[in-house]
Amino acid sequence: GAGVSQTPSNKVTEKGKYVELRCDPISGHTALYWYRQSLGQGPEFLIYFQGTGAADDSGLPNDRFFAVRPEGSVSTLKIQRTERGDSAVYLCASSQRTDSYNEQFFGPGTRLTVL
Amino acid sequence: SQQGEEDPQALSIQEGENATMNCSYKTSINNLQWYRQNSGRGLVHLILIRSNEREKHSGRLRVTLDTSKKSSSLLITASRAADTASYFCATDDQMDSSYKLIFGSGTRLLVRP
């Protein structure tokens, strides 16, 4: 079946602009996660959705970052007033289970470059 | 902050040799997962080992887990050039009901043909 998909694959924007990054999870997966990966580092957690609600947003770096999942499937990560430090690969993952055997499947990521 | 640390940071071996990567973590966990990443993009799930398991196999992969030492190792046997990638371990935190993953900084593996 289809895996997690993310669009766009690459996004180049100017400092101060607004961007939206989209994630389509695997059908039927109720848990959805966003991570951010800087060059040479492992991914770092941003936010977790269980269904439509953000159950854990403790990883969002500041209030310029926001994410929604209005129908419990597709999610959009929104970044306002982008800064050069926001440049990274943004990864989305989904999981069928919401217990301790939570195997997460990742999308290909969106590479964001802020000039 | 990142939970895990991988060792070595980089590894270069000849095709056909075995590759061993190690991972250490800090908290009590429910499970530990290993992922592969090519060219800095999507992560491919390799294997999940539960905290009550000590060893798990999948094809040419062998994972061990020592919860007393808070460490894990990934062994790739009979390596191939196609195994060239970065490898990450990821753990959850037993006290965290979101089960979000905490990653190490990865091991970059180069398999020379």
Of residues B41, B94, B101, nearest to A109 (C-beta): B41
Question: In the prediction, which pLDDT does A19 show?
Answer: 98
Question: In the prediction, which pLDDT does B19 show?
Answer: 97
Question: In the prediction, which pLDDT does B6 show?
Answer: 85
Question: In the prediction, which pLDDT does B60 show?
Answer: 97
CA-wise closest residue to B43 among A102, A76, A35: A35
The type of residue at B17 is E
Question: In the prediction, which pLDDT does B1 show?
Answer: 46
Copy the structure tokens of residue A21.
């990054």
A90 Cβ neighbours under 8 A, 6+ residues apart? A6, A21, A34, A35, A36, A37, A46, A77, A109, A110, A112
Question: In the prediction, which pLDDT does A90 show?
Answer: 97
CB half-sphere exposure, A37, CA atoms < 13 A: 29
Interface contact flag, A98 B40, Cβ < 8 Å: no
Angle at A45 between CA B88 and CA B110, to 5 degrees: 20
Interface contact flag, A106 B102, Cβ < 8 Å: no
Interface contact flag, A101 B50, Cβ < 8 Å: yes
Copy the structure tokens of residue A110.
């969106």
Cα distances (angstroms) measured from residue A98 to each of A51, A53, A103, B61, B99: 11, 14, 9, 26, 8
pLDDT digits (tens, 9 = 90+) for A2-42: 899 999 999 999 999 999 999 999 998 999 999 999 988 99
Q: How far apart are CA B46 and CA B44, in angstroms?
A: 6
The type of residue at B56 is K
- Written as tens digits, the pLDDT of chain B (113 aa) is 445 688 899 999 999 999 999 999 998 998 999 999 997 678 999 999 999 999 999 999 999 999 999 999 999 999 999 999 999 999 988 888 888 899 988 999 999 99
Cα distances (angstroms) measured from residue A19 to each of A7, A76, B42: 12, 10, 20
Neighbours of A70 (CB within 10 A): 9
Q: Has residue A97 got a pLDDT over 80?
A: no
Q: How far apart are CA A67 and CA A59, in angstroms?
A: 12
pLDDT digits (tens, 9 = 90+) for A37-96: 998 899 999 999 998 888 899 999 999 999 999 998 999 999 999 999 999 999 999 998
Question: In the prediction, which pLDDT does B3 show?
Answer: 58
Q: How far apart are CA B89 and CA B21, in angstroms?
A: 9
Question: With contact defined as beta carbons under 8 Å apart, do A49 and A103 qualify?
Answer: no
Of residues B42, B44, B99, nearest to A100 (C-beta): B99
Question: In the prediction, which pLDDT does A31 show?
Answer: 92
Interface contact flag, B30 A101, Cβ < 8 Å: yes
